[in-house]
Amino acid sequence: MPALLQYRAGGRGNVLMSNTTGSQSAQPIDLIIDTDPGADDVIALLFALASPQELNVRALTTVAGNVRLDKTSRNARLALEWAGCEHVPVYAGASKPLVRKPVYAEHVHGEEGLPGVAVHEPKRGLAEGNAIDFLIDTLLAARPHSMTIAMLGPQTNLALALLREPQIVQGIKQVVVMGGAHFNGGNISPVAEFNLFADPHAAEVVLKSGADLVYLPLDVTHKILTSEARLEQIAALNNKAGKLVGDILQACIGGDMARYGIPGGPVHDATVIAYLLKPALFSGRSVNVVADSREGPTFGQTIVDWYDSLNAPKNAFWVDSGDAQGFFDLLTERLARL
């Protein structure tokens, strides 16, 4: 697969860069996954946990989002159990957004937040303490710019941590966010993507924090879609992880295909893990992004200065396209290991 030309975040201005290695670094990435499982969150978790050579998953931090916090926290622990990674601690975080009333996505993820598979109470419980304290303690103790955060849900936990201890930003290497929509239109309102709509005030805090941010919005996730052949390659694994992922996808892709008139279903949060493992699969550019938290029709919208009209500081690397077959090949290869 030829490497795509990329624009990588690198301070002010766009930096044209070609990534031909396909892997971000020789050292494993120290990673915290902040998540609201969630069908695609669970797929992302299995994907990450199957990749220990590249990703050192230090902890999962959970947040209310797709469903209530007790259910997202249970589903996170289920993913660990399914991956045989119960040693990874799960810290429960915010049960509601910073300001707005909670909004859930049960219409997509079902009442339990996990469509297509049976859920149970996992053997391993939650870690003592909470996600916000864990983030603060870990990021304050970390080497400068050493910790990566995969942000798979509303950004409430990190926002609360930043509001309490702004200097934690020093410990952050990068925050890779699934969220937002610019070219694509929204999935919860005409202009808003769910994770931003669920807590735009939190996203504002993170966007203004000075952390190195990468956004994987609907613009790219709606281009990386399942197909019969891609579902078959996962089914052909004939292992537990392949069956779980196949069952979850079969249960939720139909709704998206019908609603958006697209030929397959997206696997939103898993694109964050693919980006961490193989950034050469993706391309985008450094931009200025703001989140709109004003009441009204644009609530939760991400406003992206793609053409640099404002000449404003670039606060995020906005990914707008990716190699769909490359994504599914990588996902399949990793699920084979579980």
Residues of this chain that bind ligand BDR (CB under 6 A)? 38, 40-41, 66, 105, 108, 152-153, 178, 187, 193-195, 268-269
Which CB sits closer to ligand BDR, 177 or 330?
Answer: 177
If you write DSSP's letter for every residue of 136-190 in order, what string do you get?
HHHHHHSPTT-EEEEE-S-SHHHHHHHHH-GGGGGGEEEEEEE---SSS--SSSS
Please tell me the count of residues contacting Ca ion according to CB under 5 A: 6
261-300 positions binding Ca ion, by CB under 5 A? 269
The 3-state DSSP class for residue 311 equals coil
Q: State which residue, 40 or 54, has the beta carbon closest to ligand BDR.
A: 40
Looking at residues 69 to 98 of the shown chain, list those that interact with Ca ion (rule: CB under 5 A).
none
In 3D space, the residue among 217, 232, 216, 242 whose CA is nearest the CA of residue 264 turns out to be 232
> 210 to each of 26, 101, 167, 168, 291, how far by Cα in Å?
26, 27, 10, 11, 15
Evaluated on CA atoms 160, 162, 163, 167, the torsion sign reads positive
Residues 155-194 vs Ca ion: string with x where CB under 5 A?
A: ----------------------------------------
Name the residues annotated as catalytic: 268
Question: CA–CA separation, 255 vs 109, rounded Å?
Answer: 10
Q: How far is the CB of 249 from ligand BDR (least distance, A)?
A: 13
Q: Which does 115 bind (CB under 5 to 8 A by kind): ligand BDR, Ca ion, none?
A: none
* In the complex, minimum distance from the CB of residue 17 to ligand BDR, in angstroms, rounded to a whole number: 27
Q: Which does 193 bind (CB under 5 to 8 A by kind): ligand BDR, Ca ion, none?
A: ligand BDR
The strand pair at 172-178 and 147-151 is best described as parallel
Residues contacting 189, CB < 8 A, separation 6+:
197, 297, 299, 300, 301
Residues 20-49 that bind Ca ion (CB under 5 A): 36, 38, 41
335 binds, among Ca ion, ligand BDR, none (CB under 5 to 8 A by kind): none
C-beta of 218: minimal distance to ligand BDR in Å? Answer: 6
Looking at beta carbons only, is 45 or 281 nearer to ligand BDR? 45
Least distance (Å) from ligand BDR to the CB of residue 1?
A: 26
State the Cα–Cα distance between residues 3 and 280, nearest whole angstrom: 6
Residue 153 within binding range of Ca ion, rule CB under 5 A:
yes
From the centroid of its chain, how far is CA 8?
18
Radius of gyration of the chain (CA): 18
- State the Cα torsion 215-220-226-230 to the nearest 10°: -90
Distance of closest approach, residue 85 Cβ to ligand BDR, in angstroms: 20
Cα dihedral 145/146/149/155 (nearest 10): -30
Q: Which is nearer to ligand BDR, 51 or 302 (CB)?
A: 302
Is residue 54 part of the contact set for Ca ion (CB under 5 A)? no
CB of 240 to ligand BDR, least distance (A): 22
Tell me whether strands 213-216 and 316-322 are parallel, antiparallel or unpaired: parallel
Task: Using CB under 5 A, list all residues that contact Ca ion.
Answer: 36, 38, 41, 152-153, 269
